[in-house]
Amino acid sequence: MRPRRLRRTETLRRMVREHHLQVEDLIYPLFVMDGVGQREEVPSMPGCYRYTLDLLLPEVQQAYQLGIGAIALFPLIPHHQKDNAGTESYNPNGLIPRTVRAIKQAVPDILVITDVALDPYSSEGHDGIVQDGQILNDETVAVLVKQALVQAEAGADFVAPSDMMDGRVGAIRQALDAQGWINVGILAYSAKYASAYYGPFRDALDSAPKFGDKKTYQMDAANAKEAIKEVDLDIAEGADMVMVKPALAYLDIICRIKHHTNLPVAAYNVSGEYAMIKAAAAQGWIDEKKVILETLTSMKRAGADLILTYFAKDVALMLK
């Protein structure tokens, strides 16, 4: 055998290539903030911005024109609107519902995915209601349900619970169905790890925990079988798609879950993964474009059907 025979020319390599990164795979996460005419670069995510709604719309339009089919929205909430119960998260006229309505008007065909979690709205910076230093589960789920309903009402195509409370997928599914939102899907952050790779995202939204960490609800980095357990629960509760997050340090988890379920599997190429590539590229230490393509291709190879990535627009351009 001479395996090199199949590597001789680019044409041949293309023909025997096993996995392909496509623009259809990409979901573009976007940060939105209140105000008009402003965009602020996230310091730890060069090339990534928080946009006011008027400037977000052209960004969404551009993404759609590049072939990107979906965006995932995250809000920057001002301090005076934050409280322990995340009340602003289910304000029907809050930033996210207003943003969803505007996008659905301006770019009706792009899929809008909204984040269901309290952390951007929480004065404690946690994904749930805090009492005596504990994160309350069922009380939080009740708020998440209200949040998901407000997002569905605004026109979200998918709601994406990223909070890791137990039982939230089932509670959200039941409530959506009861209100007639049978076609609003659930993209469940099923295997979401307590990760240091989320640092830059918390800078972007000013959402870092005010005390402790998220280890009582997000998963331990050392666990793999537990990811399968979480996926099974979310599927039983009604998830339409499941997610692994972060992606790069968890390719084995993506692979296991892909083999375990027939549902589409999404991987989140998170903020810290983005920042590492940007930082090394800025030093001239790596070839940015090649490393981006290699990194995202590794997620496809591991089994990801969909990839959430801040590089979505860059990749769409590279693939053209």
Is residue 122 a contact point for ligand PBG (CB under 6 A)? no
Q: How far apart are CB 250 and ligand PBG at their closest, in Å?
A: 13
Of 82, 104, 146, 192, the catalytic one is: 192
Q: Quote the least distance from Cβ 143 to ligand PBG, whole Å.
A: 13
Query: Do residues 118 and 163 lie in contact, with contact meaning Cβ atoms separated by under 8 Å?
Result: yes
To ligand PBG, the closest distance from the beta carbon of 227 in angstroms equals 16
Asked whether position 119 contacts ligand PBG by CB under 6 A, the answer is yes
Q: How many CB atoms lie within 10 A of CB 139?
A: 13
The interface region with ligand PBG, picked from 52-60, 78-86, 112-120, 235-243 by CB under 6 A, is: 112-120
Distance of alpha carbon 124 from alpha carbon 144, whole angstroms: 16
Examine residue 143 and tell whether it contacts ligand PBG (CB under 6 A): no
Q: Which of 245, 258, 278, 300 is catalytic?
A: 245
Question: Which position among 85, 100, 117, 312 is part of the footprint of ligand PBG (CB under 6 A)?
Answer: 117
> What x-and-dash track marks residues 215-254 binding ligand PBG by CB under 6 A?
----------------------------------------
Question: Applying CB under 6 A, which part among 78-86, 114-122, 137-145, 288-296 lies near ligand PBG?
Answer: 114-122
Residue 202 binds ligand PBG (CB under 6 A) = yes
Closer of 86 and 97 to ligand PBG (Cβ): 86
Q: Select the residue interacting with ligand PBG from 25, 124, 127, 157 (CB under 6 A).
A: 127
Look up 215 and say whether it is catalytic. Answer: no
Helices (H), the chain: 10-15, 53-65, 95-106, 138-154, 168-178, 199-205, 225-237, 251-260, 271-282, 288-302, 312-319
Active site residue 278: no
| Residue from the set 49, 121, 158, 198 that interacts with ligand PBG by CB under 6 A | 198
Helix (H) or strand (E) holding 189: strand 185-192
Residues 6 or more apart whose Cβ sits within 8 Å of residue 311: 269, 274, 277, 292, 296
Long-range contacts of 89-93 (CB under 8 A, 24+ apart): 89/118, 89/120, 89/121, 89/143, 89/146, 89/147, 89/150, 90/143, 90/146, 90/147, 90/149, 90/150, 91/150, 92/150, 92/153, 92/154
Q: Is 162 in the site for ligand PBG (CB under 6 A)?
A: yes
Q: How far is the CB of 54 from ligand PBG (least distance, A)?
A: 24
What gap in Å lies between CA 190 and CA 282, rounded to an integer?
33
The structure tokens listed for 251 are 């390719």
CB of 144 to ligand PBG, least distance (A): 11
Q: Which of 140, 271, 295, 309 binds ligand PBG (CB under 6 A)?
A: 271
Of the candidates 242, 223, 218, the one whose C-alpha atom is nearest the C-alpha of residue 232 is 242
Indicate if the alpha-carbon torsion angle 45, 51, 56, 59 is positive or negative. negative
Residues that bind ligand PBG (CB under 6 A): 115, 117, 119, 127, 162-163, 198, 201-202, 214, 270-271
Q: Please identify every residue annotated as catalytic.
A: 192, 245
